[in-house]
Amino acid sequence: MIYIVRKVNAFLLIPLLLICNVSYAQFQNPTYADQLILQEKKPNLNLPLGIAAGAITTGLLLEYSGWFDKKKFQTNVLRSFPNAKTHVDDYLQFTPIAIGLGLNAFGKKGEHKFTHQLKRLAFAEAICNATVFTIKTQTKHERPDGSATNSFPSGHTAQAFCAAAFLDREYGKQYPWLRWLGYGMATTTGICRILNNRHWASDVVLGAGIGYLSVDLSYRLFDRWEMNKNLQVTPIIGNQTYGVRLVYNF
């Protein structure tokens, strides 16, 4: 058995509770046909991981390597665009999700059934928010405007790329233009966070990697769970400890 418990803020578990009704006990080995279907859905499993790893590594290097002067970069950006402040990033971070759910409402089927989409999205949101929250509280980096010490990474950007990656996974194959629209909105969100003087460039790049990776991990896990029925998923709540327990029967 494998138990994984993570101490996080209670509100982060709301998406997890939505999916924890998925409890599998019956053992079932994936058939050759199932494997072919899974391979068809994910022709290149390493590409998403490579993209996420590249963004996360770049964000960390920009923050900690010393060769990138984030303060000088921020000053130059604000000097070049002095009146570019906007609140559009508050809405763009969720817009790709709204588009995906709207397509479902109009009968446009994605790669998975609507309930399966919600499970994958909820788990991705849980991973994304828990990761961002943990890093913010541990690093305590000051924002460019000096308003708080929770700058690193950008939560808006992480959410935006999580939403865009979800839209891509469900509708990118059918409607390639939606893929670019979603990532365009996510990129715009990150740029706006810099223009609003709320985040450094390193915050934005790391947030993008976290958001993208969260969706990839969620889809990988659910694809395995749906093919391997000997895994149980249940929440853990009590004694100021909140998390999720994974039980795998070998």
| Contact between residue 152 and residue 205 where contact means Cβ atoms under 8 Å apart | no
The pLDDT tens digits of the residues spanning 57-94 come to: 999 999 999 999 999 999 999 999 998 999 999 999 99
How far is residue 151's CA from residue 38's CA, in Å, rounded to a whole number?
38
* pLDDT(8) > 80: no
Helices (H), 81-175: 89-92, 95-105, 114-139, 155-171
Least confident of 20-24, 34-38, 68-72, 206-210: 20-24
Is residue 6 very low, low, confident or very high in pLDDT (cuts 50, 70, 90)? very low
Ranges of each domain in the chain: 45-115+135-212
Cα distances (angstroms) measured from residue 197 to each of 28, 64, 86, 129, 210: 52, 20, 11, 22, 21
Is residue 46 very low, low, confident or very high in pLDDT (cuts 50, 70, 90)? confident
pLDDT computed for residue 223 by the predictor:
85
Least confident of 3-17, 191-205, 209-223: 3-17
Distance between alpha carbon 9 and the CA centroid of its chain, in Å? 17
* pLDDT(29) > 70: no
pLDDT computed for residue 32 by the predictor:
46
Sign of CA dihedral 135, 136, 137, 142: positive
Least confident of 172-176, 212-216, 237-241: 237-241
pTM of the model: 0.77
Mean pLDDT, all residues of the chain = 83
Residue 116, both tokens: 């399966």
Is residue 240 very low, low, confident or very high in pLDDT (cuts 50, 70, 90)? low
